Amino acid sequence: MKLIDFGKLVSRANGEKKEKEFEMVMLDDSKLDDVMKLQDLIYSNLRDKDIFATDTKEDYLKDMADGGFVLGVYVDKELISYRYVSFPGFSEKNLGLDLGMHPEALMYSANLETTVVHPDFRGNKLQKLTLDHAIELVKEKGYYHLFSTVSPKNIFSLANIMSGELKVKGLKKKYGKLPDNSDGKWRFILHRDLKEEVCAEYGNLLSLSLTDFNSQVKALKGGYIGHQVDRFDQKIVYADNNSCGLVVPEQSILL
């Protein structure tokens, strides 16, 4: 397996802080049992199962055969975190379809799929570390449209994925069994074009509650994008996508 990064982090197992050495590697399919074991651990410990959509071993095998990859972080030969990236092409899994993007964009799309961290190793910014490496690997492979979905209930993962300059471009139900996904789970759809310069400051800002789906969908349809997340107030700051560089007072909608 190819070594991607290494260093030290802090374990909080059994309430004790201990410094541990880690290695981040590009996993091959022989390590997928480790992935499934960690996924099952995370899912079983969730109070709200709605925030996490599990993947099957077959999902990983298919995506890896199509060029996808999994970055795994090991401590003492145990997988403690991973990030899964796929290249969906023109398949229905391409999140660009949800945003009505041009077919050319679909050809160069990468989905940032599942990311998990073992509870004993949270607080080490492993989501951000694996995200940074994943973005560089996506660039190296010649892809430049990044997509991800995040549950509105998972504000910590939302903040982490937005730290990679992905913006909320859509909000809809996903992963349902019915054709129209009406039985699905609410998900933000985030996107970043790696070829475009990141906007440092937007104008025409709008602060909306994470749980006010109707107002957020309306804002998105009106040309706004989710620009920042406020973890303290449980809100997202939306910005007019055409207001980069403008200085306009923020509007706050009280709910």
Q: How far is CA 100 from CA 21, 94, 103, 129, 192, in A?
A: 44, 11, 9, 30, 15
What is the per-residue burial (b if ≥16 Cβ within 10 Å, else e) of 66-104? eebbbbbbbbeeebbbbbbbbbbeeeebbbbbbbebeee
How far from each other are the two terminal CA atoms of the chain, in whole angstroms?
50
Q: pLDDT, tens digit, for every residue of 124-170?
A: 999 999 999 999 999 999 999 999 999 999 999 999 999 999 999 99
For residue 187, the cross-strand partners are 172
Q: pLDDT, tens digit, for every residue of 196-211?
A: 998 878 878 999 999 9
Strands lying side by side in the sheet with 18-26? 2-11, 18-26, 69-75, 78-86, 109-117, 145-150, 185-193, 167-174, 224-230, 235-240, 205-209, 251-252
Q: How far is CA 19 from CA 71, 78, 80, 118, 215, in A?
A: 21, 15, 14, 15, 45
State if pTM tops 0.85: yes
Q: pLDDT, tens digit, for every residue of 219-255?
A: 999 999 999 999 889 999 999 988 886 544 444 443 3
Measured distance CA(83)–CA(130) in Å, rounded: 6
Measured distance CA(227)–CA(1) in Å, rounded: 37
Contact 38, 71 (CB under 8 A): no
Q: pLDDT, tens digit, for every residue of 5-62?
A: 999 999 999 989 999 999 999 999 999 999 999 999 999 999 998 899 899 999 999 9
Amino acid at 70: V
Q: What percent of the chain lies above the pLDDT cut of 90?
A: 82
Q: Which of 173, 80, 170, 91 is CA-nearest to residue 127?
A: 80
